[in-house]
Amino acid sequence: MTTVSHSQEINEGSALNSNRYDLIVLGGGPAGTCGANTAAYFGKRVAVIEQAPHLGGAGINSGTIPSKTLRESALALSGLRSRNLHGVDLSLRRNATVADLMHHAQYVTTCERKRVESNLAKNRVEYFTGKARFVDPHTLNVTHADGSERLFYGDIILIATGSVPTRPPEFPFEDDRVHDSDELLEIKTLPDRLVIIGAGVIGCEYACTFAAMGVEVHLVDGRDTLLPFLDREVSAILMDVMAKSINFHWNERVTKCDASDATTVRVTLTSGDVLECDGLLVCAGRTSRTADLNLDLAGVTLGKRGVIPVTSRYRTTDVAHIYAAGDVIGPPALAATSMEQARIAMCEAFGVLGKADMSPVLPIGIYTIPEAAMAGETEEALREKGIEYVVGRSRYSDHPRGQIIGEQDGFLKLLFRRGDMKLLGVHVLGEQATEIVHLGLLAMVMDGGAEAFNRICFNYPTLGDLYKFATYDALITEGAIHG
C-alpha cells in the first residue's frame, strides 16, 4: 500500500483551491500582519492564522500599544506633567481608578485592531482563528475553537507567533496579586505597594507609570546599573530622576515568594531583606511562542528559549521556504524591527526588490518617565573601538520650548566622529525623546552630520533646536567655530 502525505492529499484532492496558499503566516501580530500585507501587495494568495481571539499580538493587545497608552493616561490623570509648571497642581490621584486609566488604552487598542483588520481585508488576506501545528514542512493542521480541524498548504510559510513572558517557578502566578507583564493590564484595583522584579525596559516602564499614579514602587534587579545598553551618562541621569519616586534594590535576587497571606505578598531577597506588597510584577524576560508548533516535523531546529535561527534575510537556517520574524527570532524583539524583518523576508521569499535589507542603524525607545531614546553608538562603545569622537550636548531647559513644557531634566547628546564630524550616535532623555531621536537616526542613515544640523533652520520655539545647539556645542569643542 502506498503512503500519501498530507501535502499530496491537498495538492491532488478537491481542497486544492481553498486550502493552498502562496503564503501562510502564523501569528497576527505586527510581524505577521506586515508580512501578510507585503506578500498580498505582490498579488500573492495569503492566509493568516492566529491562535488568540483578536489580531494584533502583544504589540496591540497586551504590550506596546496598551502599556504606552496607560502611561499617557497616568501622566494626564496624575497631573505629573503640570506639577513642573509653577503653581499648578492638577493631581487626580485621589479619584482615579483602574477603569479611568484603562478606558483610553482600551479605546486605542480597539481602534488599532480595526485598522489591522481593515488592512488585511483591503489586501484580500484571508484570516483564520485557530491553533496551528506543522504536519510536514509545507502542511499545517489548524484546530478551530469549535474543535473542527482543517489542513492548510503553504508554498512559503512565515512564522511570526511572537513571545510570552517567562514565568520562573518560584513565583505563584496562580495568585491574583502576582502578575507577568501581559496580564498586569487586567488588574481591577491599583495596588498600594507594587514590587517589580527585573529592571529591564518593561519593568522600568511600568515602574514609572505606577509611580506616577502615587503607587509605592520597589524595583528589584540583580545588576547594579539601570538599562546598561544605554549610554552611561543617560542611564545615570535617568536613574537619578526615577529614584525620586521609585525605590531601587540593586544586586538583589528573589530567594522566596510567599503569597499565603490573604493581604500581603512577601518577597525575600538574597540580602535577607523582605519586601511586603499587595501587587507583584515579574519581568523575567520573554520566551518565543514556538513550543506547540511541532517544528520538528517541519525540520526547523530551535535555539535557547525557543528562538528560531534565521539568516540575514530571515529565512530559517534549516528549511528554505520557511521564514521567521519578530520575537520568535530573538533580540531586538521590538514591534518596529519585527515589521521591517517581515517585509524584508517576504521580498526575499517572492524575489521582489522592494526592500533589500534592514537599516544599518536602528532606534531604541524607552517609555519611562522621562522617555529615553537612542540610535547608533554610545560613548563606551566608541572608546572600546578606539574611534575618536566629539560630544555635543543641549539641555531642554536652555530652550524656550523646553521651558514651556516644564522639562527640567531632559537633554540631547550627539556623538560626532572627530575630523569629518559625521554623526555616530544620538541619545535623548526627556519629553518626546522617542520622537526626537528620529532626526538623528535619519542623519546617520544618510551619512550626515554636523554640517547638516548647522545649515538646517528649525521652527522656533521647538525641540528640534536641540540638534542645532548640540551641534554648535560639538563644533566649539572641536574648534571648528568660535562661540
Q: Is the pLDDT of residue 356 over 80?
A: no
User: Which of 85-99, 180-194, 311-325, 448-462 is the least confident region?
Assistant: 85-99
**pLDDT at res. 58:** 83
Strand order in the sheet with 254-258: 254-258, 265-269, 274-277
Q: Phi and psi at residue 95, in whole multiples of 5°?
A: -110, -15
User: Which of 157-161, 225-229, 444-448, 478-482 is the least confident region?
Assistant: 478-482
Residue 17's pLDDT band (boundaries 50, 70, 90)? low
**pLDDT at res. 85:** 54
| % of the chain at pLDDT higher than 70 | 92
> 370-386, pLDDT tens digit by residue?
999 999 999 999 999 99
> 282-292, pLDDT tens digit by residue?
999 999 999 99
> Nearest to residue 369, comparing CAs of 184, 280, 180, 243?
243
**pLDDT at res. 12:** 46
Average pLDDT (298-325) is 96
Q: Is the pLDDT of residue 279 over 70?
A: yes
**pLDDT at res. 445:** 95
Highest-scoring range by mean pLDDT, 45-54, 60-69, 402-411: 45-54
> Nearest to residue 134, comparing CAs of 151, 155, 149?
151
| % of the chain at pLDDT higher than 90 | 76
Highest-scoring range by mean pLDDT, 24-28, 50-54, 405-409: 24-28
Question: Which residues, in sequence order, are CB contacts of 188 under 8 Å at separation 6+?
Answer: 98
Q: Is the pLDDT of residue 8 over 50?
A: no
Residue 103's pLDDT band (boundaries 50, 70, 90)? confident
HSE on the CB side for 48, CA within 13 Å? 33
> Nearest to residue 128, comparing CAs of 9, 27, 265, 45?
27
DSSP 27: -
Residue 100's pLDDT band (boundaries 50, 70, 90)? confident
Q: Could you count the other beta carbons within 10 Å of the beta carbon of residue 352? A: 14
For residue 370, whether the previous peptide bond is cis, meaning omega lies within 30 degrees of 0, is yes
Residue 79's pLDDT band (boundaries 50, 70, 90)? low
Task: Work out the mean pLDDT of the chain and round it to a whole number.
Answer: 90
Residue 70's pLDDT band (boundaries 50, 70, 90)? confident
Q: Is the pLDDT of residue 2 over 50?
A: no
User: Which stretches of 198-271 are assigned E, i.e. beta strand?
Assistant: 216-220, 246-249, 254-258, 265-269
- Please state, in angstroms and as integers, the Cα–Cα distance from residue 90 to each residue in 79, 154, 239, following that order: 5, 56, 26
> 155-214, pLDDT tens digit by residue?
999 999 999 999 999 999 999 999 999 988 888 888 999 999 999 999 999 999 999 988
User: Which of 2-11, 72-81, 325-334 is the least confident region?
Assistant: 2-11
**Torsion over CA of 264, 269, 273 and 275, rounded to 10 degrees?**
-20
Residue 81's pLDDT band (boundaries 50, 70, 90)? low
Question: Which residues, in sequence order, are CB contacts of 460 under 8 Å at separation 6+?
Answer: 400
Contact (CB, 8 A) for 83 and 119: no
Residue 60's pLDDT band (boundaries 50, 70, 90)? confident
Question: Which residues, in sequence order, are CB contacts of 462 under 8 Å at separation 6+?
Answer: 401
103 compared with 162, residue with greater pLDDT: 162
**pLDDT at res. 5:** 46
> 126-167, pLDDT tens digit by residue?
999 999 999 999 999 999 999 999 999 999 999 999 999 999
pTM above 0.85, yes or no: yes
